[in-house]
Amino acid sequence: MMSLRELPDLELTLGELVLDLLRSPYEYPELVLSAPVDARGEVSSNAVRVTQHYTTALLAYGFSADQDELRAASEWFATPFPNENHRRIDAVEMNRLEALLSLNPRHVYVMPRLEQLIQQRTPTHYFDIQSSDLTFDTLWAIKVMAQAREVGILNGLMSEDDLRRWSNRMVQDIRRDKDLALALRLRYELLGKLTPSQQRTHLHNLLVIADQSGGLWGLSQDMFSLGQSFQQQQLSPDLIADYRDIFREMVLSTCYVIENLMPLLPAYPELEPALSRAMELWWGIFHGPNAVETLRTLFPDPYDYLLIAARTLVSLRAYLGQPLIRWGAAYIHRKMAIQQVRQVEPADTVNIKKALKEWIQFDLEKPPEQLRLGMSDSNVVRIRPRICNPMQPEDDSFRLHIPNADSLVIKYGPIEEIKRESEHYERLPLAIKEYFVNIPQQPTYVDERQRRAYVIMADLGRYRTLYEALQKVPQIHGLLVDELGSFLLRIHQGDGRHRRYVQEGLLMQLYLLPMQLHIRNIFGYILENKLLENTDKQKYAPGLQRALLEKIGHLVRRQLDLEAFPVACMHGDLHTRNIMVRRLKQRENLDRQDELDFKLIDLEKFRRNGDAALDIGELLVDLELLRAPRNIAADRDPIFSLMKALEDTYAAFAADREDATFPIRVQLAQARSLIRIAKGRTKQGEVALRESRKGPAIRIAFEALNDAGQALEYLKQVVETLG
């Protein structure tokens, strides 16, 4: 049976994860074994939870409770109870109690917590810990009581019969995948088996869910397509970034299900294929020498990263059936030995370099100039550096001038976004690389603590965005109509090699899945925050949500009818603020017919194997949004002329490539773009709500509904065209 559970790069990956976990108290002191945050000695609830998972992972690795790391954690958790701040058992105290039961169950502060927990049973005998979900509270309490029983300190606080009866009841009450898996394990361990009905209904149901959702757990039914994309390795980094919370819950739930169902395997061997597939799917995402970097990229928030890393190790321990130290110790010893003998720069040389950096004086001529605020989490500013000769700091004639660096652009944001853009630039076909802004291969500076990267680039100061040019440079409007389409064609044709057709699932990945996920966010923001109460849109919004999902569901069933199209290089975020343009001077135009020079910026979503229709649909929506408020007759409107020229150019492009469904996919892209715009608005709305500004949040809700309503019209046209 073990041969079915072999995982690639096991020793290397496990060793890297454990080494990084051991570093976490030093790298994340605010989350692991943190110092108090106030004069009363309180620590944050996040720190208590993360540290509890940290200790569980080290125990799974094979550390004993008397190891220095775990002994320090035991002392950290052992706070007096009750005290002036904590008289009830809440979520924080439950995490402390779980940790103490694992590390030092005989500690004097354990029994007072168990006794208080028993006092928090309601008249219906459920446990009340957080009050928001008594069923989960009770399952958690039964788990802790079973833990106390296992280490021999239950001391009659809850009878064996009561414990067994409630473990049986929990199986019937619990619904979430990870919680059901825990309930089944507790029932199995306390009674020795499941009933035939429990096996047939609940165990089988978890297997069905895994099959429907692509081999994983933790997804709602409307998100099963996300799991299927995960299974087919079709999740792009930007999709994961947009829906990191859903992805995080899916991974955590899957780890918990593996951890809790593995002990049932001897009695129920039919579980093995599903558990093996789930472990292999998740392991396949990050294993290898860059495992830690990959996980940090997927989960840049340290809280998320540490939880995921810890639960991965715990589920791996259950999966392999033995302490992980058996696989990881040799790798860690070898790595430590290599580090001990590695040649390092002499200390004097290191210090001389540091002194040199301190010697050079630099500043900014004026504060950074904000260039844009887009939908991503990255930001862009223009700076004008001032570098002085330290020998003559007051004399401007001694200023140091770096060629072409009087003005620079700095892009900064989450490390994963900045690195992804650099990687995309490196992978650009040589034939079109000159049409994109030059992006350095490595960030100029990385702030590891904040997980932000900064990259310095050349300033395209002579260029304007297409957005600005259409509004402020009328003398080039005609040239834009003539030349923009041919420029974009060069991008989409890429290196011009042999035409290739789409791989299975690309339509789902590019269009259908993002729309489903965005709709979930849009209407979650509107309905959960009750922003339409007492308005005429209160009943409209749920109906609009259903109509959108119905149309997308229809397209999911018909996706094979749309997938036979040739792939193209795709920018992935093509709007008027990501297209830069300047008019060539006469001396620059001697060897070329064009009068305009274009550059594209923002490569976070670039794909060599994408769909040109997605770019064109998005650009047409952006142009229409720019055109609509102007109220200019179509025959005199340069934006309308530009849109018509693009449509004609790409109709010929589609005909030349025998791409019959191109017009349908453009409409699909227009729907996708409007839904994405609506989702982008909700970010601003959430900020307004956090600042208690409900008026702007309501206005944004109406704007998002308007975008979604327009998207529905495009989806209706797509469905009608398909017939």
pLDDT score recorded for residue 692: 85
pLDDT beyond 90 at 707: yes
pLDDT reading at 357 higher than 90: no
Distance set, CA 114 to CA 52, 96, 101, 117, 374 (Å): 17, 11, 10, 5, 51
pLDDT at position 393 is 61
pLDDT mean over 342-351: 66
Nearby residues of 377 by Cβ (< 8 Å), 6 or more positions away: 241, 413, 414, 417
Is 510 found in the same domain as 485? no
State the pLDDT at residue 177.
Answer: 95
Q: Is residue 342 part of a domain?
A: no
309 with 428, same domain: the answer is no
Q: Which pLDDT band holds residue 2 (cuts at 50, 70, 90)?
A: very low
Structural domain boundaries enclosing 524 = 504-565+661-723
For position 400, which CATH number holds? 3.30.200
Contact 439, 418 (CB under 8 A): no
Query: Do 128 and 73 belong together in one domain?
Result: yes
Question: Which tens digits make up the pLDDT trace of 506-564?
Answer: 888 899 989 998 999 999 999 989 999 888 888 899 999 999 999 999 998 898 888 88
In a domain, 200, yes or no: yes
Beta strand 379-383 with 408-414 is antiparallel
User: Does 340 fall in a domain?
Assistant: no
CATH, residue 602: 1.10.510
Residue 445 binned pLDDT confidence (cut-offs 50, 70, 90): confident
Angle 376-378-382 from CA coordinates, rounded to 5°: 130
For residue 503, the model assigns a pLDDT of 65
Residue 646 lies in a domain: yes
The tens digit of pLDDT for each residue in 273-303 reads 999 999 999 999 899 999 998 898 889 889 9
Nearest in space to 423 (alpha carbons), one of 448, 447, 442, 409? 442
**What band does 1 get if pLDDT is binned at 50, 70 and 90?**
very low
Q: What is the pLDDT of residue 142?
A: 97
Q: Are residues 88 and 16 in the same domain?
A: yes
Residue 393 is assigned to a structural domain of this protein: yes
Is 10 a domain residue? yes
**Sign of the torsion angle spanned by Cα atoms 194, 198, 204, 205:** negative
pLDDT digits (tens, 9 = 90+) for 368-420: 888 764 455 678 888 888 777 777 666 666 666 776 677 888 888 888 888 88
Whether residue 174 sits in one domain with residue 47: yes
Residue 202 and residue 261: Cα distance in Å, rounded? Answer: 12
Token couple for 115: 């006794």
In order, the DSSP letters of 261-274 are HGGGTTT-GGGHHH
Averaged confidence pLDDT in the chain? 88
Is 341 a domain residue? Answer: no
pLDDT class of 457 with cuts at 50, 70, 90: confident
Max alpha carbon distance in the chain (Å)? 93
Q: Are residues 633 and 698 in the same domain?
A: no
Query: Is the pLDDT score of 343 beyond 60?
Result: no
Whether 241 shows a pLDDT value over 80: the answer reads no
For residues 251 and 389, the model is more confident at 251
Residue 498: inside a domain, yes or no?
Answer: no
Number of domains into which the chain is organized: 4
> What CATH number does the domain containing 167 carry?
1.50.10
The pLDDT confidence band at residue 262, using thresholds 50, 70 and 90, is very high
CB neighbour list of residue 609: distance below 8 Å, 6 or more residues apart = 500, 502, 503, 506, 567
Can you tell me the mean pLDDT for 22-46?
90
Residue 28: pLDDT band by 50, 70, 90 thresholds?
very high
Is the same domain home to 547 and 689? yes
Question: Which percentage of the chain shows pLDDT scores above 70?
Answer: 92
Q: Which class for 394: exposed (0-12), middle (13-18), buried (19 or more C-beta within 10 A)?
A: exposed
Higher pLDDT, 38 or 661: 661
Whether residues 232 and 282 share a domain: the answer is yes
Judgement on whether residues 421 and 373 belong to the same structural domain of the protein? yes
pLDDT for the residue numbered 373:
45
Residue 166 has pLDDT above 60, yes or no: yes
pLDDT score recorded for residue 231: 67
